[in-house]
Amino acid sequence: MATAAMRMRRSLALCYHLTAALLLLAFLHAPLAGAQPLPWQLCDSAAGNYTEGSAYQANIRALAGGLPRNASASPALFAKGAAGAAPDAVYALALCRGDTNASSCAACVAAAFRNAQQLCAFNRHATMFDDPCILRYSGQDFLANVTDNSGRFVAFNGNNVSAGAAAAAFDAASGRLVNATADYAAGDPTRRFGTGEEGYDATYPKIYSLAQCTPDMEAADCRSCLRDIIEKFTPQYFVGKPGGRVFGVRCNFRFETYSFFSGRPLLQLPDVLPPAPAPAPAAAEEGEFLKQKTNKK
Q: In whole angstroms, what is the distance from residue 51 CA to residue 62 CA?
A: 16
Residue type at 118 in one-letter notation: Q
| Contacting range for ligand NAG; rule: CB under 6 A; set: 100-108, 188-196, 250-258, 271-279 | 100-108
The residue whose Cβ lies closest to ligand NAG is 81
The stretches of 46-202 forming alpha helices (DSSP H) are 55-73, 102-119, 165-187
Nearer to ligand NAG, 70 or 115 (CB): 70
- Find out whether 215 and 199 touch, Cβ atoms under 8 Å: no
Nearer to ligand NAG, 66 or 199 (CB): 66
Size of the site for ligand NAG (CB under 6 A): 27
Q: Who's near 57: CB < 8 A, 6+ residues apart?
A: 50, 51
- Find out whether 137 and 125 touch, Cβ atoms under 8 Å: yes
Q: Who's near 170: CB < 8 A, 6+ residues apart?
A: 161, 162, 200, 204, 240, 242
Q: Give the nearest distance from C-beta 167 to ligand NAG in angstroms.
A: 10
Peptide bond into 68 cis (omega under 30): no
Peptide bond into 39 cis (omega under 30): yes
In the list 34, 172, 281, 285, the residue contacting ligand NAG (rule: CB under 6 A) is 172
Q: Mask of contacts with ligand NAG, 23-62, x by CB under 6 A?
A: ----------------------xx-xx-------------
Q: Give the nearest distance from C-beta 182 to ligand NAG in angstroms.
A: 8
Nearest to 209 by CA among 228, 191, 185, 239: 185
If one asks whether residue 70 binds ligand NAG (CB under 6 A), the answer comes out as yes
Nearer to ligand NAG, 201 or 290 (CB): 201
Q: Give the nearest distance from C-beta 2 to ligand NAG in angstroms.
A: 8
- Judged by the rule CB under 6 A, the positions of this chain that interact with ligand NAG are 3, 45-46, 48-49, 63, 66-67, 70, 81, 101, 103-104, 145, 147-148, 150, 158-160, 172, 175-176, 179, 227, 230-231
